[in-house]
Amino acid sequence: MAAAIRASITRANRYPDFDSRELTEALASRWHLSPDQVSVDSGSSSLLRNIVTACAGPGTEIVYGWPSFSSYEHTTLLAGATPIRVALTPDHRIDLARILAAINDRTRVVLLCLPNNPTGTTVDHTALEAFMEAVPEDLLIVLDECYRAFVTDPNAASGPRLLERFPNVVVLESLSKSAGLAGLRIGYALSSPDVGALLRAVRIPFAVSTVAQAAALACLGPAVTAALESRITATVSERQRMYGTLTGAGIEVVPSQANFLFLPHQHGAPEKVRLLAQDGALVRLAGPREIRISIGSRQENDHLLSCIGPLTEGTRKS
């Protein structure tokens, strides 16, 4: 990948390929889709903005589970639409039944983060399929699957499997997490050709740089793909190890299908985050009483596990 990035810099004086054609065709081949079903942009957040901007506005509503990806609310408000938060289930999953009940004639888009950020949970594919059968056919359902690469549950929801049956599905994918390209900003959407045309019509011109396109294309090659799969396997193994160690210490941790762990019921969470930072362990405040821990290298994880004292105070394990 590094070689591809270095080579692309020699073309930095030229505008990037407006349509990311080579990358689009490679992604279409990987997912067994036609190129007009793939939309490349500068990260999944840009794709999300394009979807909401194109479909919603004042007097309309965007429905999503909560807590979830913080950009959902920001993007909805920028479009002038009303955000509708739907509480998660008691086990911190997207509540499809309550989301279905929240849909009305003002709803323009439903956003489902699977696995959910920050909880790391997903839903069964059969449940998602039943949900799709129940929603209006003209309502756009966005499946944000940026953490899909870390899923090991064979029954977990899978957006690409729904594309053939449901033309109102859009699947968002990112190369920030699984491929480690967060700094280059590149993501893509899988959809019907009609939705793909809509996304391309509202995108910002030349948003995907030459370097980002080259790096993403390199990620799809066999050598880099094998290396990335090995890294993902290691991350999943570390996730399991950290989950076992933390729960063994009496800390409540939600079983995760992403590259992070969610700790609910952490009373005094802001102070705990501060204390851990003093010890060189950076974790994320995910709510007034919630903490999210990203899975790092084994060395980084070992350091965090060596200073979890604050996390064991004022908490409960269900």
| Listed ranges 170-179, 197-206, 241-250; the one with the highest mean pLDDT | 241-250
108-150 pLDDT, tens per residue? 999 999 999 999 999 999 999 999 999 999 999 999 999 999 9
Only one residue has tokens 């080259």, namely: 214
pLDDT band at 175 (very low <50, low <70, confident <90, very high): confident
pLDDT value at 316 more than 60:
no
d(CA 174, CA 149): 10
Q: Determine contact, residues 144/118, Cβ cutoff 8 Å.
A: no
pLDDT value at 313 more than 90: no
Residues of the chain with CATH 3.40.640.10: 1-220
- Average pLDDT on 10-26 reads 92
Give CA separation, 261 vs 117, 118, 296, in Å.
Answer: 10, 8, 11
Query: How is domain 1-220 classified at the CATH fold level?
Result: Aspartate Aminotransferase; domain 2 (3.40.640)
Cα–Cα distances in Å, from 112 out to 17, 50, 62? 31, 16, 11
Number of C-beta neighbours around residue 316 at 10 A: 11
* C-alpha to C-alpha distance for 172 and 48, rounded to whole angstroms: 8
> Which superfamily, per CATH, for 233-312?
Aspartate Aminotransferase, domain 1 (3.90.1150.10)
The residue among 185, 149, 192 whose CA lies nearest residue 170 is: 192
Helix 71-78 and helix 44-55, axial crossing angle in degrees, nearest 10: 40
Q: What is the predicted pLDDT for the residue at 314?
A: 66
pLDDT(318) > 50? no
Which is higher by pLDDT, 315 or 92? 92
CA distance 39 to 27: 10
Domain span(s) for CATH 3.90.1150.10 in the chain: 233-312
Percent of the chain with pLDDT over 70: 98
- Residue 253 CA to residue 262 CA, distance in Å, equals 6
Measured between alpha carbons, how far is residue 295 from residues 3, 168, 206, 262, 274 in Å?
Answer: 27, 34, 33, 11, 19
Q: Are 201 and 174 in contact (CB under 8 A)?
A: no
Sign of CA dihedral 143, 149, 150, 156: positive
User: Is 315 a residue whose pLDDT tops 70?
Assistant: no
Closest CA to 8 of 186, 133, 275, 231: 186
pTM, two decimal places: 0.94
pLDDT band for 224, please (50, 70, 90 cuts): confident
Tell me how far CA of residue 97 lies from CA of 60, 87, 103, 120, in angstroms. Answer: 21, 11, 10, 19
My answer on whether omega of the bond before 222 falls inside 30° of 0, hence cis, is no
* pLDDT(317) > 70: no
Please state, rounded to an integer, the average pLDDT across all residues of the chain: 94
Count of other CB atoms within 10 angstroms of residue 282: 13
In 3D space, the residue among 172, 174, 169 whose CA is nearest the CA of residue 195 turns out to be 169
pLDDT (0 to 100) of residue 7:
79
- 193 Cβ contact list (under 8 Å, min separation 6): 34, 36, 37
User: What does the pLDDT read at residue 84?
Assistant: 99
CA torsion 52→56→59→65, rounded to 10°?
A: -40
Backbone φ, ψ for residue 142 (5° rounding):
-100, 120
